[in-house]
Amino acid sequence: MYLTKIYKNSSCIDGRGIFAGEPIPKGTVVFYYSSNDAYVLKKEFQSLPDSEREQIQKLGLEDESGNWIVTDGDANHSCDANILSMFVDGIYCDIAVKDIKIGEEITIDYGLFYSSFPWQMKCRCHSNNCRGVFGSAIPVDFQTQQLWHLRISEAAGRIFQVTQPLFARGDESARALRLALRSKQNPEIFPYTKFSLISNDPKMKI
Ligand SMILES: [Zn+2]
């Protein structure tokens, strides 16, 4: 679930996107998996009709076991995203890697998501570093991976300098993530992102 105020609106990238309902400083943990999120187990997913599976694939995130989580907001892809995915002791979350202004669209890099099947989409993010197409079928190039690592590390270094809505949450997954973050204050300990799932570079492995 999203930890910051968001709202949905029409997007100049694609269809409807999610937008910041408040200023989100760089270093804010924006999203985590909570028990309030809807999970669709692999078995259940496989038994659904095509139309429902397509909807989940559009709105959801797949984990490495083939289970799906359907999130409360569907951030569009950008090749110059303002939030990025990271793992802290194996716990997934998204962190703001830029200061996001109120009313600004929240974007993430879809190329980093795990997917059990290859897919690709034409990009309409209009950023200067647009890759043109993105998806699990197109591994993110090494230079971009390094830049994302740098942005995540810089943002992670600010985790304890900004107000974290995560820290006000009392559910078990929030507590686990908070503990993981507290035990890993050095940003260098955030080397593991989804990159490691799609990169052949051994330096990017766990
Ligand atoms: Zn793009």
pLDDT digits (tens, 9 = 90+) for 110-145: 887 878 888 889 999 999 999 999 988 888 888 888
Specify the CATH number of the domain 6-37+72-198.
2.170.270.10
Distance of CA 109 from the midpoint of ligand 1 (Å): 9
The pLDDT value given to residue 186: 52
The residue behind tokens 């490495």 is 64
Distance of CA 122 from the midpoint of ligand 1 (Å): 8
| Strand positions, DSSP E, the chain | 6-10, 16-20, 29-32, 38-40, 60-62, 68-70, 76-77, 83-88, 91-96, 105-108, 121-122, 133-134
Distance of CA 172 from the midpoint of ligand 1 (Å): 36
Give me the residue spans of the domains in the chain. 6-37+72-198
Distance of CA 160 from the midpoint of ligand 1 (Å): 31
The pLDDT value given to residue 160: 92
Distance of CA 145 from the midpoint of ligand 1 (Å): 15
Residues with CB under 5 A from ligand 1 (ion): 79, 123, 125, 130
Q: How far is CA 139 from CA 15, 118, 198, 199, in A?
A: 25, 10, 6, 7
Q: What is the pTM of this model?
A: 0.85
Q: DSSP states of 10-55 as a string? A: E-SSSSEEEEESS-B-TT-EEEE--TTSEEE-HHHHHHS-HHHHHH
Render each residue's pLDDT in the chain as its tens digit; 206 residues. Answer: 899 999 999 999 988 899 999 999 999 999 988 877 788 888 999 999 999 998 888 778 887 778 888 877 789 999 999 999 887 877 788 999 999 999 999 999 988 787 888 888 999 999 999 999 998 888 888 888 888 888 988 998 899 999 999 999 988 889 988 988 888 755 544 544 444 333 333 333 32
Amino acid (1-letter code) at residue 148: W
The pLDDT value given to residue 203: 39
Q: How far is CA 3 from CA 21, 40, 66, 94, 159, in A?
A: 11, 21, 25, 10, 14
In terms of C-beta density within 10 A (0-12 exposed, 13-18 middle, 19 or more buried), how is residue 199 classed? Answer: middle
What is the phi/psi pair of residue 94, to 5°? -115, 140
